[in-house]
Copies of this chain bind each other. A is one copy, B any other.
Amino acid sequence: MQRTYGQYCGVVRALEMVGERWGLLIVRDLLVGPRRYTDLRNGLPKIPTNILAARLKEMEESGVIRRRILPRPASSVVYELTEYGLELESVMLELGRWGAQSLGELKDGEIVTLDSMIMALRTTFQQSSAVGLHLRYQFHFGPIEIHTVIDDGSIEVEAGPIDDPHAVFHIHGPVNLVMDGSITAEQALESGMLTLDGSAEDLDRFANLFRIGPKSLPAS
């Protein structure tokens, strides 16, 4: 590795390992699960392929991720986080929560990907609101299908449908406005940005289970 910061410091080492451009976004997607090269490309549509290859190589060398060849007959290549790389999860969740407060409006050309959506739900999950709850929810957002299993303070969020969900949410707009308190869940429902196959109780639960902030907002 070249391009160093020239300091003997934990933060510097971390940035040298995962702080290069696109690095943490690759980690974000791998936190959802092992991914093939092409999966990563699809989840990060704007990443140049040579950059993706370079980052994967660098992060493999520094022990953050691992390149693994699946047993036959699949024989395909997957990338996954090492145990060390997995320890970045709490950092990513906090960073995502911090940044989510500045999401604002959907800017031109911006997309929402499956993996980022999964991480967003994990990020904003409020453990304290989930004690004693045992729920299976399903979400639809365009072509994206996600389900979550809430089990007394713990949560699992993954791609795909789930059997016999307690409620199904269809997202048509910036539902993060509900999570950061800009609008109420009822307003989201009225405005049509959210439709629901479930009870009013589920709507309230959703608004309490997934939250951004309340934090101080940037000046701009």
Contacts and interface: CB of A to CB of B under 8 A. Distances in A.
Nearest to A90: B94
A53 interface: no
A110 interface: yes
A219 to B, nearest CB: 4
Contacts of A14: 95-96, 98-99, 102
Task: Select the residue from A6, A28, A113, A116 with max chain B CB neighbours within 10 A.
Answer: A6
Given A13-B103, A102-B13, A112 B7 contact: yes
A9 interface: yes
B82 A219 contact: yes
Contacts of A11: 24-25, 28, 92, 95-96, 99, 116, 119
Contacts of A50: none
Interface stretch (A164-172, A185-193, A210-218): A210-218
A15 interface: yes
Given A5-B46, A215-B84, A219-B82, A100 B24 contact: no
A17 interface: yes
Contact of A102 (B19, B62, B88, B119): B62
A197 interface: no
A63 B62 CA distance: 33
Contacts of A72: none
A220 B61 CA distance: 7
Interface in A28-70: 28, 45-46, 61-64, 66
A191 to B, nearest CB: 18
Contacts of A87: 98, 215-216
Nearest to A97: B10
Interface of A: 4-17, 19, 21-22, 24-25, 28, 45-46, 61-64, 66, 82-84, 87-88, 90-92, 94-103, 106-107, 109-113, 116, 119-120, 123, 212, 215-220
